[in-house]
């Protein structure tokens, strides 16, 4: 059993991917060409936004957005969740130390009740963690406090997100719901003109800002396009597996739509659970071993962790290429563990 099965995903899309790669090879255009332009158009239409701009990865997408915002508001606060979003926080920390971390709740997304009421005119980053859509009341909070709202949809493509905030970012990292076979990311906006980011991803020519080299290449754009027709079918398979798991164990709470990029469970005695998973040869990953504010470069910033989850979370295989026997193997473990907890 594999935690992820990227080889099977390639085989699932093989014919379309191979045609796409051959098309790029024969075009002789490998950067900022027609494949990326068409992907940007397709993706904006899919999400329901005005415009999309492809970049090298989702971290660059956040960095470019935050840096652009801070140009006019250099001391603005950046508000983001204190669990799961360490790549998001790293992208922000590159730009500013003014980060404010907010607890998550039992959805494992940002707890709207913990949002600071004393901060205004900043950025709120709403992370749809593990494919679970964050609390939509965060949108009202951002509006009331005159914050710019960025949705981090890196793990939630296909869950119906991306048009709630002022901006949104998506990842095409190989394990994501809609994936390239290398790095890739995209910036979206439902109302704002993104042409400045077309320049900032290419060193910032013709702007008064410092840009970076963040171009999604034509090969990756063509691969994402090749998967467009079929990735929602794979999302549906992942959700079907997750529903089976949820009959045996409580995962994170799902108040809205969720595509189960990961199936995450909190266990009281995690060390015993991990030992049993190893014994049964069931792969797992701990997403994430630390809260964001506990990472070395984040210590001393504004934070307070009151709902601790990092010592309890375990992610179990939920990818759409699991065999029936493998699904039953994970179900069997969850069933046995549920009864073990009841006995103890």
Q: Do 173 and 257 share a domain, yes or no?
A: no
pLDDT band at 341 (very low <50, low <70, confident <90, very high): low
The predicted pLDDT at position 343 comes to: 37
pLDDT number for residue 340: 53
The angle formed by the CA atoms of residues 309, 112 and 306, to the nearest 5 degrees, is 35
**pLDDT in the model for residue 342:** 40
Could you tell me what percent of the chain has a pLDDT over 90? 89
Q: 132 and 210: one domain?
A: yes
Contact 186, 151 (CB under 8 A): no
State mean pLDDT over 213-233.
97
Question: Which of these three, 227, 252, 278, is where a domain ends?
Answer: 227
Please count the structural domains in the chain: 2
* Residue 133 to residues 87, 120, 156, 157, Cα–Cα distance (Å): 18, 24, 8, 10
Q: Could you give the C-alpha distances from 152 to 58, 88, 131, 171, 182, in angstroms and in order?
A: 9, 8, 11, 9, 19
CATH assignment at residue 171: 3.40.640.10
Based on the fold, state whether residues 79 and 173 are members of the same structural domain: yes
Sign of the CA dihedral with 236 first, then 50, 210, and 148 last? negative
Give the mean model confidence (pLDDT) for residues 155-166.
Answer: 97
Last residue of a domain, one of 227, 245, 261: 227
Rg (CA), the chain: 20
Q: Kindly state the average pLDDT of the residues 281-289.
A: 96
Q: Tens digit of pLDDT for each residue in 128-146?
A: 999 999 999 999 999 999 9
pTM of structure:
0.95
- 83 & 218 share domain: yes
Residues of the domain holding 152:
6-227
In a domain, 276, yes or no: yes
25 with 171, same domain: the answer is yes
Confidence at 122, pLDDT banded by 50, 70, 90? very high
Domain's final residue, options 227, 242, 266: 227
Query: To 5 degrees, how large is the angle CA 148–CA 287–CA 102?
Result: 35
Average pLDDT, the chain: 94
Domain assignment present for residue 185? The answer is: yes
| Residues 246 and 148 reside in one and the same domain | no
Could you tell me if 109 and 177 lie in one domain? yes
Residue 31 has pLDDT above 60, yes or no: yes
Average pLDDT over residues 140-169: 97
36 with 51, same domain?
yes
> 3-state secondary structure string, the chain?
CCCCCHHHHHHHHHHHHHHHHHHHHHHCCCECCHHHHHHHHHHHHHHCCCEEEEECCHHHHHHHHHHHHHHHCCCCCEEEECCCCHHHHHHHHCCCCCEEEECECCCCCECHHHCCCCCCCCEEEEECHHHECCCCHHHHHHHHCCCEEEEECCCCCCCCCCCCCCEEEEECCCCCCCCCCCCCEEEEECCCCCHHHHHHCECCCCCCCCCCECCCEHHHHHHHHHHCCCHHHHHHHHHHHHHHHHCCCCECCCCCCECCCCEEEECCCHHHHHHHHHHCCCCCECCCCCCHHHCHHHCCCECCCCCCCCCCEEEECCCCCCCHHHHHHHHHHHHHHHHHHHHC
22 in a structural domain: yes
Considering the domain architecture, whether residues 238 and 195 belong to the same structural domain is answered as no
For residue 1, tell me if it sits in a domain: no
Q: Are residues 77 and 209 in the same domain?
A: yes
The answer to whether residues 159 and 142 belong to one domain is yes
CATH of the domain at 251: 3.90.1150.10
What is the pLDDT averaged over residues 53-81? 96
Q: Are residues 162 and 123 in the same domain?
A: yes
């Amino acid at each position: 059993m594999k935690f992820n099965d990227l080889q099977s995903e390639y085989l699932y899309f093989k014919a379309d991917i191979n045609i796409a790669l051959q098309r790029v090879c024969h075009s002789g255009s490998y950067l900022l060409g027609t494949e990326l332009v068409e992907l940007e158009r397709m993706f904006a239409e899919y999400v329901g936004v005005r415009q999309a701009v492809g970049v090298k990865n989702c971290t660059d997408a956040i960095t470019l957005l935050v840096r652009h915002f801070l140009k006019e508001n250099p001391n603005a606060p950046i508000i983001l969740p204190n669990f799961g979003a360490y790549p998001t926080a790293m992208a922000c920390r590159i730009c500013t130390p003014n980060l404010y971390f907010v607890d998550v709740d039992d959805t494992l997304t940002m707890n709207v009740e913990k949002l600071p009421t004393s901060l205004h005119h900043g950025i709120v980053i709403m992370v749809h963690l593990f494919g679970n859509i964050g609390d939509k009341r965060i949108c009202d909070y951002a509006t009331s406090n005159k914050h710019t709202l960025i949705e981090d949809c890196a793990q939630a493509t296909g869950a119906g997100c991306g048009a709630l905030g002022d901006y949104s970012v998506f990842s095409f990292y190989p394990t994501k719901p809609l994936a390239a076979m290398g790095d890739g990311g995209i910036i979206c906006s439902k109302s704002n003109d993104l042409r400045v980011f077309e320049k900032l991803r290419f060193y910032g020519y013709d702007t008064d800002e410092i840009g970076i080299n963040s171009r999604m290449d034509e090969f990756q754009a063509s691969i994402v396009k090749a998967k467009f027709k079929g990735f929602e079918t794979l999302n549906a398979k992942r959700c079907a597996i997750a529903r089976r798991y949820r009959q045996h164990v409580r995962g994170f709470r799902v108040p809205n739509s969720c595509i189960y990029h990961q199936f995450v469970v909190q266990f009281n005695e995690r060390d015993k659970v991990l030992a049993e998973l190893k014994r049964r040869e069931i792969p797992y990953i701990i997403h994430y071993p630390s809260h964001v504010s506990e990472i070395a470069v984040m210590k001393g910033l504004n934070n307070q962790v009151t709902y601790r989850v990092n010592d309890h979370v375990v992610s179990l295989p939920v990818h759409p290429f699991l065999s029936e026997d493998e699904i039953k193997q994970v179900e069997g473990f969850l069933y046995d563990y549920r009864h073990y907890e009841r006995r103890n």
